[in-house]
Chains A and B, each alone.
Chain A
Amino acid sequence: MSPSRLVALSAEECLSRLGRVHIGRISFWDDDGPAVLPMNYALLEDDVVFRTASQTVIRAARDGAEMAFEIDGFDPLYHGGWDVLVRGRAELVTDPAELRRCRALPLEPWAGPEPDQVVRIRRQAVSGRQIAVTAG
């Protein structure tokens, strides 16, 4: 195995990667502990937005829960990989104008056929790492 190390990605690079990927994972604490769920997402003013019909997620967003959002990429051949982590407070989008903008984004809910809501993660921090494989 070649030695590898993690190199931090700039905030600009993190946002650029967030704009190119369409599936990520949210994480938050529900009544039973930590949860991680995949989400189809888009960016609105550099914030992560997604549609969900999950009552657990909707309740967390209504309560303004702290939420993490992660995307990653992985190259099995070269053992290369990267990940970006967004952290912030979740909220339900209720403003009609904002809702219209969100509904125009290419978003599809992963959850069931029940009516869905739009959740926005008000970004407080973004960080990312890339594995740099050094010749070895």
Chain B
Amino acid sequence: MASRDPPIYEELSEPECLALLERAPVGRVGISIQALPAVLPVNYVVVGRDVVFRTVPGTKLDAATTGTVVAFEADHYDPERRDGWSVLVRGVAHEVTDDAELAGLRALPLEPWALDGEADRFVRVTTTMMSGRRIRRRHGARVSG
């Protein structure tokens, strides 16, 4: 199946990565929980070249995103066209505490994945690395069989 229309891979520039991140509805955070890797989905916004999401205090995600190095990923894949993209961000996660920055973030359309409590925190991932790639097909259309 794959050999009939082999995939073409393209590395994405940081502006391309940011443009794709701006329009994906959900991302995933790669963290350590009990010293083992874990992945949890989040709603997020892009601020500059950083990623911001909300967490609920007391949750595993909240505990794992205080001053630690995390990964953030978003992707999209079209099963009909068999093309897609993915972006990986790596950075240090920290709680936003500055009042002015918080006021700005609260004005953004950003909800936590699930608000399982009352209070919540804004976590900003200060980007240290960003990479992305696109996969597409030469014929750009569904290959039957």
Contacts and interface: CB of A to CB of B under 8 A. Distances in A.
Interface of A: 1, 3-6, 22-23, 25, 27-29, 32-38, 66-70, 72, 74, 76, 79, 81, 83, 85, 87, 106, 108-113, 129, 131
Contact of B36 (A74, A87, A108, A110): A87
B31 interface: yes
Nearest to B112: A4
B39 A27 contact: yes
Contacts of A112: 9
B36 A38 contact: no
A36 B73 contact: yes
A28 B22 CA distance: 25
A3 B70 CA distance: 28
A129 B113 CA distance: 11
B38 A35 contact: no
Contacts of A67: 37
A117 to B, nearest CB: 15
Given A38-B73, A131-B114, A87 B41 contact: no
Nearest to A67: B37
A72 B25 CA distance: 12
Interface residues of B, number: 38
B44 interface: no
Given A22-B79, A37-B88, A28 B26 contact: no
B47 to A, nearest CB: 20
Query: A22, A34, A37, A109 — which one has the most chain B CB atoms within 10 A of its CB?
Result: A34
Contacts of A68: 30, 36-39
Contacts of B107: none
Contact of B114 (A4, A27, A34, A37): A4
A87 B115 contact: no
A28 B29 CA distance: 12
A40 to B, nearest CB: 8
A68 B75 CA distance: 17
Query: B30, B69, B75, B84 — which one has the most chain A CB atoms within 10 A of its CB?
Result: B30
A4 B2 contact: no
B70 A72 contact: no
